[in-house]
Amino acid sequence: MSFRFIHSSDLHIGRRFANIPEAADGNIRGRLMEARHGALSRLAQAARDHGAAHVLLAGDTFDTATPSPGVIRHALATMGEDPAITWWILPGNHDNLRDAEPLWDTIRADAPANIRAVTIAAPLKMDETAVLLPCPVAFRASASDPTEPLATLPSGDGQLRIALAHGGVTDFTESGAAIAPDRDRSARLDYLALGDWHGRRAISDRVHYSGTPEQDRFKHGARGVCLAVAIDAPGATPRIEEVETGQFHWDTRAVPLTSGQDAAEALAAVLPGAARRDILLRIEASGWAGLPARAALQEAAARAAPDFAHFELLTAQLGTLYDTTDLDDIDTGGALRIAAETLLNDAESDDLSQDDRQVAGDALARLYAYVRGGME
Q: How far is the CB of 369 from other proteins (least distance, A)?
A: 9
DSSP for 278-326 reads GEEEEEEEEEEEEHHHHHHHHHHHHHHGGGSSEEEEEEEEEEEE--HHH
Walk across the sheet containing 207-209 and list its strands. 124-125, 130-134, 160-166, 191-195, 207-209, 201-202
- Could you say which of 69, 83, 158, 273 contacts other proteins (CB under 8 A)? 69
- Could you say which of 43, 44, 71, 132 contacts other proteins (CB under 8 A)? 71
User: Which residue lies nearer to other proteins by CB, 303 or 366?
Assistant: 366
Query: Which phi and psi angles does 229 have, rounded to 5°?
Result: -110, 135
The per-type count for the chain, helices as H runs and strands as E runs, is 9, 15
Residues 27-66: x/- map of binding to other proteins (CB under 8 A)? Answer: ------------------------------------xxxx
Taking CB under 8 A as the binding criterion, the range among 2-10, 19-27, 126-134, 269-277 that sits at the site for other proteins is 19-27
**CA gyration radius for the chain?**
26
Residues in 316-345 at the binding interface with other proteins, rule: CB under 8 A: 331-340, 342-343
Q: How far is the CB of 15 from other proteins (least distance, A)?
A: 7
User: Which residue lies nearer to other proteins by CB, 46 or 313?
Assistant: 313
User: Which residue lies nearer to other proteins by CB, 299 or 329?
Assistant: 329
Helix or strand run (H / E) with residue 86: strand 86-89
User: Which residue lies nearer to other proteins by CB, 172 or 370?
Assistant: 370
- Could you say which of 99, 196, 251, 326 contacts other proteins (CB under 8 A)? 99
Pairing of strands 3-8, 225-231: antiparallel
Side-chain-facing half-sphere of 235: CA atoms under 13 Å:
2
User: Which residue lies nearer to other proteins by CB, 98 or 277?
Assistant: 98
Residue count of the chain: 376
- Could you say which of 1, 19, 324, 354 contacts other proteins (CB under 8 A)? 19
215 Rama sector, left if φ>0, alpha if ψ -120 to 50, beta otherwise: beta
Q: Mutual orientation of helices 291-304 and 354-375 as an angle, nearest 10°?
A: 80
Which residues make up the interface to other proteins (CB under 8 A)? Answer: 14-21, 63-69, 71, 98-99, 101-103, 331-340, 342-343, 346, 355, 358-360, 362-363, 366-367, 370-371, 373-374
